[in-house]
Amino acid sequence: MSAEQAVSRPDSDGGTPPAETPRRGARESQSRAQVRPEVECSVGIMAYNEDGNIAHALDSILRQDPTGQRIREVIVVASGCEDKTVPIVADIASREPRVRLIEQARREGKASAINLFIGAAQCPLLVMVSADVMVEDGAFDLLLRHFEDPAVGMAGGHPTPVNGAGTFLGHAVHLQWRLHDRIARDAPKLGEMVAFRNVVPSIPLDTAVDELSIQALITQLGYRLVYEPRAVVYNRGPSTVHDFLRQRRRIYVGHLRIRDQQAYSAPTMSAWRASRALLGSESFSTPQAALWSAGTVGLEAAARALGLYDIARGRRSHHVWEMCNTTKEHIQDAANAQRQHNVAVFHIVNFHRLELEIGLHASRQLARRVADRIQQALGPTATVSAQKAGTVVALLPGDRGSAERAALALVQLFQATPVALNGRGMRTQVTLACGIIAFPQSGPPLSQSVAEPQLEPAPSTAT
């Protein structure tokens, strides 16, 4: 008997909402899926040929709850894997009783694997984590605490790319997720790591955007969505134009199908929201950034045009998609590097002369405006503060190279754009000097090195 046939949906505290009306279903589901602060959750990982990161992903999840009080089980659904994913997970499961492995003989799409996970899960809260990510310490607690509110049905974390931002594709990936973050803070769009109440019996098998499909169902049951920007999950975006276009094309087709089949539109589908987020993201602060940002917009437009072509021809649903290999490379090392912190110290050159020329009060206001512009350019992940005598200190996450490139871009930004002195149109040129101090990550790395199990060689079939 296959794994698909063997797994049946157990009775759980989550229950299945009745089919009368969405609002009534939400109320009845809440009565059967009440969540206490200490409630247990089932974690699901859907994997297809993920032997490069699956052990590290599992480690970053299990270490979220070392006492086992909250994560009751971690279910890995391996779909038609042709690499070492299955033996790696099986080896971990033999040592860690919370890990369970479900095998699908052939790959039928991520939605099919998710339905197997939902059917096998035994807890009132479900957490889905992609197999090619690393979860920051404390992210689970930040997500799960939202379910103390019975009106909350789904919460999502903050995907953060580990790609270097010094190339065009790196800039494109960072811009994509920066816009996602800005939009999700106003209108939640959840992905990469999501938690939701166990009130959804299944999702459509032909969906290519599984988190959005769940988001639509949860919303239609009358629950509220929450985006938690502090719950960081590290991922890697595509590093070739071909992979970028293929990924964005699939996602856009998925969004269009959800809109048509489930009458639900992702917040990122709104041109107004996307334009507003783009204009407020400081993505055009330097000539190079402006050029790369315009190129990213062009790539997204091309991907959407290809998606529209797929829909018009009825050719592809994308629910079983070709993997982007460049999104699977060196996630653990890059995620650990992201946890490094760098102190960037900016100083306004000739600040004392400015104090004499424009006065003490005006010069202090100028320093605060410089700090505000630096904060806007670096985004919410940086901590920026204005100090005395024209000095601004910024705490930047990530590797030293990325911090140095960001600091250089800021110096060039101030060289190109004067700073306002007051509200009457007076502006002055500001020149910044900058130094970087790098500190190692606090706490242990997200994942230790995990030894692969030793596999017995396959018997020879030669005759």
- CATH code (residue 422): 3.30.70.270
Phi and psi, residue 161, nearest 5°: -75, 145
* 275 plus 252 within the same structural domain: yes
Quote the pLDDT of residue 338: 53
Quote the pLDDT of residue 217: 96
Quote the pLDDT of residue 462: 42
* Domain end (from 303, 327, 351): 327
Quote the pLDDT of residue 9: 35
Q: Which two three-digit tokens encode residue 365? A: 């206001």
* 306 plus 363 within the same structural domain: no
Buried b (16+ CB within 10 A) or exposed e, 431-462: ebebebeeeeeeeebbbeebeeeeeeeeeeee
Quote the pLDDT of residue 98: 94
454 part of a folded domain? no
* Number of domains observed in the structure of the chain: 2
Burial (CB < 10 A; 0-12, 13-18, 19+), residue 3, is: middle
* 151 plus 247 within the same structural domain: yes
- The whole domain housing 280 covers 3-327
CA distances from 241 to 245, 246, 329 (A): 6, 8, 16
Look up the CATH number of the domain holding residue 321: 3.90.550.10
452 part of a folded domain? no
* 293 plus 383 within the same structural domain: no
pLDDT in tens, 118-151: 999 999 999 999 888 889 888 999 999 999 999 9
Q: Which two three-digit tokens encode residue 302? A: 């091309």
Quote the pLDDT of residue 144: 93
* 280 plus 155 within the same structural domain: yes
The secondary structure element, H or E, covering residue 235 is: strand 224-235
CA–centroid distance for 98 within its chain = 25
447 part of a folded domain? no
Residues of the chain with pLDDT under 70: 1-38, 66-68, 282, 315-341, 380-381, 398-399, 422-425, 438-463
Quote the pLDDT of residue 97: 93
* 137 plus 258 within the same structural domain: yes
* 155 plus 20 within the same structural domain: yes
* 291 plus 357 within the same structural domain: no
* 316 plus 378 within the same structural domain: no
Quick check: pTM over 0.85? no
353 part of a folded domain? yes
190 part of a folded domain? yes
Quote the pLDDT of residue 441: 55
* 260 plus 373 within the same structural domain: no
156 part of a folded domain? yes
461 part of a folded domain? no
140 part of a folded domain? yes
The SS3 of residue 90 is helix
Residues 6+ away with beta carbon under 8 Å from 335: 134, 162, 234, 446, 447
Strand residues in 332-454 grouped as ranges (E): 341-348, 383-386, 391-397, 419-420, 427-428, 432-439
* 396 plus 298 within the same structural domain: no
* 295 plus 347 within the same structural domain: no
